[in-house]
Structure 1
Amino acid sequence: MFLFRDLKDFIKSQNLKIIIAADAEPRVSKLVKGKSVLTIPAGGVAVAFDPIACASNAVFVGRGKAEEENLSGSKRFTVEDPRGNYTLNRIFISKEEMDDYYYGFSNQTLWPMCHVTFERPEFKDNWYEGFKKVNQKFAKAIKEEIKGKTFIWLNDYQLSLVPKYIGKQKDVTIGMFWHIPWPTWEVFRILPQKKEILESLLSCDFIAFHRGYQARNFINTIKREFEARIDLETNRVFFNGNVTTVKNLPMGIDTDLLSSHLEKDKEDTFLAKIVKKMMHLDINDNSDKRFDTLFKKNKIILGVDRLDYTKGLRLRLLALDKFFEKNKNYIGKVSYLGILAPSREKIYSYGLLKKEIRDLEKEINNKYETKNWKPINIIYEVFPRDEILKFYKNASLCLVTPLDDGMNLVSKEFVIATSFSADPGMIVLSQFAGSSIDLTRALIVNPYNIEEVANAIKRGLEMNVKEKVERIQTMKETLEERNIYEWTQNFIKSTIQANKQYD
């Protein structure tokens, strides 16, 4: 297994300055007892890069939140960590820029266009102008950090114009990881700004996606839009004097860090009380004061998601409704606990989704609830990672049923966490989640097929311990072999090899 120290040694051997850029940041500033302190957020792509930044002593360029501007005292500072320090360089943007760049073009144009969920993208010129301005700010901050032999690692759709604004730089290698799906050309061609974005991405030396079909969609898009020479054997695109290599590299997780958290895990009676209150259980019943016994006694089906139409939340609730309709013996014995992180609430479609979920939750509960039990329990809250791991470890079943998802790290984290239980949970996983290529022993379903998902729920709950242990252990071993450090090494190696300067 490739570990943190191995990655650190590898990066040192390359003699590179590493600059990582993403829309979010791996550490956030919070006011604690009158002092500004750095904390690690609960989740997200940027958080996954925290150990990578430590291993590489990188400069991380990310968008800071408005409330942090006065807390940190500086836009650029050192993040001190016993594993290795790195520099955090924050970009701050105005409210108007945030509306256009983030809520507008990023998440009402690119996001729905790239996900096959039949949510119509919107196109507004002012959104794109704001998007360009923020991408220029990122590029400016990155260029100021370039010194000598430099490796620039850009992340995701929000920064798709940054390669263009950086331009060709001596001794600089640029890699882009596109974390969300890439649609077919038939979908992408409707984007008014398609050529500028594609030209920008083809300024990179290397572009990677989670899955092979996403890389193929990208290459086919280039083929249909440009007179570019494409070598299909090597997946290299020759365009405007530049050579870009395209590849799929499924992202791993930090299995070592998760395991260390779980090994020193202590039961939390306070968290158990929160869950009891949330699920309308008797908070004074001391027989269930431990979190693990509470979960096992009540057989919890778990869902952990951002509130997003790509996650298949409505169809998931309909599948749970079908499950209870077909299996009335489970009424009063099994509960669904959905933890939804509020997301992009300024966007109309997200507010509408929240209302739909609440209405459907109420409708299903009215059908089946008893005096002391409800089948569907949804909380809109962000829990710290340590607490989320407790949920994962003790759930009987986890439902991860997105309609389209680049990867889905929740599914991978669940497998690691539940492996620490003598009677592990099982996972029902959408075939449209990128993680399904690694988690082949999960119960794979089509989330649009409500009957199939309902049957998988029953199968997962009734699976014997021996089979669950075997399935979970097999998937855990796969995740340990393909962890985030191995993934990082592969990405850096592939990008360097793609750059002719390093041939």
Structure 2
Amino acid sequence: TIVVAGDTLNDLSMYATGFKGIVVGGAEPALIERVRKMSRVFIAKDEGCGGILKGLAHHGVEVESTPKAQRRMDERGEADLVMAYHRPPFDEVLENGVLKHKRPKSPNGIIPTLLGFFAGARKGSWVAWSLQDSRTPQGFVRHVPVDKKHYPNLKVARIALTAEDVDIFYKKFSKEAFWPIIFSFPDKAEFNQAHWERFLDVNRIFAEQTAREAAEGALVWIHDYNLWMVPAFLRPLRPDLRIAFFHHTAFPSSDIFNILPWYREIIGSLLQCDYVGFHIPRYVENFVDAVRSYTPVEVLESVPCAPRFITYGCALGVDTMTSAIEVGGRRVKLGAHPVGIDTGLIENIVTKPAVQKKIARINALLDGAQGIVSIERLDYVKGSLEKLQAFERLLEQYPELIGGVTLLNIITPAAPGMEIYETLRTEVDRIVGRINGRFSTLEWTPVRYFYRSLPFEDVVAHYAACDVAWITPLRDGLNLVAKEFVAAKKTTGSAGVLILSEFAGAAVELHGALLTNPYDANSMSKVLHQALTMGADEKAYRCQRMAAIVADNNVVQWGDEFMRAVQAA
């Protein structure tokens, strides 16, 4: 049985086929007039789903909920706050056949901040994957405590995913289809329908587990693009929930985002949220434009972006930001919340005697040369090649700097299995070799290149020892390395210069950074020369201004601000 339904004159051709039809309430009068005499078309008074259900009943189509679906709808958990985050707040490590939970290796300040919301009596659940041999492993323990002492009412709801699930859903599809689009590199995107269906399957599982965890009227906080489709599955299961979503990445312009074959489904899913947060206002406006290209939008509220955000003179600046929209009768609140860092952690690290010794060793290595620190993950969006080419050009244009500057180039390897980055690594190796071959002397090497993951204490020591941080991604959602450098310099009591790409989200937040266009070879070398020759007073003023911003908007403040905005919505 085929039944067609619509509400605009554009849908007329469906009814002309002779199928049974439904025109829902609130439809265009022109459509109603044209189908009024068609005997197989039912004109409903109710809008949307209500009209379709009435029409199905009119056509004799029986509609019922299956017992399994009904049981799923009726299930309620005890958690007042549910975090849906693809990874758990700990690393699962198998030692001698025993599964143990250990503190994450990455110094991610976001996870401790999110855990902080469960420090009191609030009952909570953290929905995350657990790598298993199958989706239904024998003896699988679904719920495990995080920390009974500090978070007595928080448990992790583990979702059993296979290595193939994680490989397709996360390593392949998310990185090959979504990542290039998010950062505006559509030529690198690969779309695979089978991978999309696996992505949907995993998101559905996350949504179903979230629905089982949440108490009546609970708040669900969903994190990042890996879980884009969770709201679409969750809202029908639990219409009582308040759903918030935060993007930890950029959000591209609508003409780029709409390249995704599934952009309609993704936008439709995000519109099931009550609140959607992004790093900066530009990403909010990009999202609104993407929604507008999909469906009519009414802008309900907007707010000025200054003085917190740079509005002019920056590629990502906008002067006003949409803060509430209405689509199809649903009101969705929007906001900009740039993630902060754990400034206290960096202060503690810098003052450690062992780290002070590391700083002294780096200074000895520099031997009077100005240190330029560059720390980034191996990824084409980070602009590693453009940066090295600009440094080579600097030495060509300003030969007086030869022997007086050293680039400490630290690149963190990509996760295992990310074949897409292997060519990039080969090219980086080649250019580093060429620069050192051209300009090295017996006493000096222009590029100190480290292709490895350094302990965070070593990273902080490099921040503290260097005069300039050179952070020039071609695109970046925010960039926390820039903020970490500023916090480290503040703790040492010395001034440093931050060079930041205009296309990093942090560029509109960190007043005082030197902005550069990583696509402009002349801008890159010119701004780097400006940083290396900057006077002490200007350097101190810029560094102090950025330090105040980083301290005021630390990661705890970010979490509190986001939660307040969600509660207000």
Alignment correspondent of 1:52: 114
2:273 is paired with a residue whose SS is: coil
1:473 aligns with 2:473: no
| Structure 2 residue 568 is matched with structure 1 residue 497 | yes
Identity of aligned residues (%): 27
Q: Deviations over 1:360-417 (max 9, x none)?
A: 1112222112234322222222223222211111112111101111111110111001
SS of equivalent residue, structure 1 residue 253: coil
Letter in 2 for 1:316: K
Which of the numbers 424, 428, 451 marks the counterpart of 1:380? 451
* CA-to-aligned-CA distance 1:424-451 (integer Å, 9 cap, x gap): 3321111111111221201111111222
**3-state SS in 2 of match to 1:488:** helix
Report the alpha carbon displacement of residue 232 of structure 1 after superposing the two structures with TM: 5.2
| SS of aligned partner of 2:442 | coil
User: Which one of the candidate residues 82, 99, 104 is aligned to 2:172?
Assistant: 104
The aligned counterpart of 2:333 is: 245
Mapping 1:408-427, distance limit 5 Å: 408-427=479-498
Q: Is residue 204 of structure 2 the alignment partner of residue 136 of structure 1?
A: yes
- Worse-matched range after superposition: 438-447 or 118-127: 118-127
> What's the counterpart of residue 345 of structure 2?
257
Equivalent in the alignment of 1:17: 80
Structure 1 residue 156: Cα displacement: 0.9
1:18-38 Cα deviation digits (max 9, x unpaired): 222222343213467997351
Q: Which residues of structure 1 form unaligned runs of 5+?
A: 1-14, 273-287, 499-503
Q: Is the 8 A contact 1:296 1:394 kept in 2?
A: no
Seen in structure 2, the aligned counterparts of structure 1 residues 296 and 474 have a Cα distance that, compared at 3 Å, is farther
The alpha-carbon distance between structure 1 residues 295 and 61, as it changes in their structure 2 partners (threshold 3 A), is farther
Alpha-carbon distance in 2 for matches of 1:475, 1:178: 24
Deviation at 1:418, TM superposition (A): 1.4
- The counterpart of 2:499, out of the listed 424, 428, 434, is 428
Matches within 5 A, 1:194-213: 194-213=263-282
- The C-alpha deviation readout for 1:210-245, integer Å capped at 9, x for no partner, is 121211111111111113444354643333553211
AA of the residue aligned to 1:227: P
**Worse-matched range after superposition: 57-66 or 356-365:** 57-66
Alpha-carbon distance in structure 1 between the residues aligned to 2:378 and 2:265:
31
Q: Distance in 2 between matches of 1:464 and 1:176?
A: 44
TM-score with structure 1 setting the length: 0.84
Indicate conservation of the 8 Å contact 1:306/1:342, yes or no.
yes
1:134–1:489 CA distance, 2 compared to 1 (3 A): same
1:29 aligns with 2:95: no
CA distance in 1, matches of 2:297, 2:93: 48
Match of residue 321 from structure 1: 392
The amino acid that maps onto 1:103 is: K
Structure 2: gaps spanning 5 or more residues = 1-77, 303-321
RMSD of aligned residue pairs (Cα, Å): 2.8
Q: Relative contact order (C-alpha < 8 Å, sep 6+): which is higher?
A: 1
Residues in 2 aligned to 1:31 and 1:493: alpha-carbon distance in whole angstroms:
39
How far is the alpha carbon of 1:50 from its aligned partner?
A: 1.8
Q: Distance in 1 between matches of 2:273 and 2:83?
A: 14
The answer for the alignment partner of 1:188 in structure 2 is: 257
SS at match of 1:316: helix
The question of whether the paired residues in 2 share the 8 Å contact of 1:16 and 1:149 is answered with: no
Matched position secondary structure for 1:405: coil
> 1:226 maps to what in 2?
295
Distance 1:32 1:388, change over 3 A: farther
Of 430-439 and 244-253, the range deviating more from structure 2: 244-253
Residue 464 (structure 1) aligns with: 535
Report the 3-state secondary structure (helix = DSSP H, G, I; strand = E; otherwise coil) of the residue aligned with 1:420. Answer: helix
Q: Per residue, is there more helix in 1 or in 2?
A: 1
CA distance in 2, matches of 1:362, 1:191: 38
Q: What do residues 73-118 of structure 1 show as CA deviations (whole Å, max 9, x unaligned)? A: 8553222287656433333422322232112321111110111245
Query: In 2, Cα distance between the equivalents of 1:418 and 1:433?
Result: 20
| C-alpha displacement of 1:146 | 0.7
Q: Aligned in 2, Cα 1:402/1:166: closer, same or farther, shift over 3 Å?
A: same
Rg comparison, structure with higher value: 2
Query: Hey, what's the Cα distance between the residues in 2 that align with 1:484 and 1:363?
Result: 40
Contact map agreement 1:429 1:442 (CA 8 A) in 2? yes
CA distance in 2, matches of 1:75, 1:356: 45
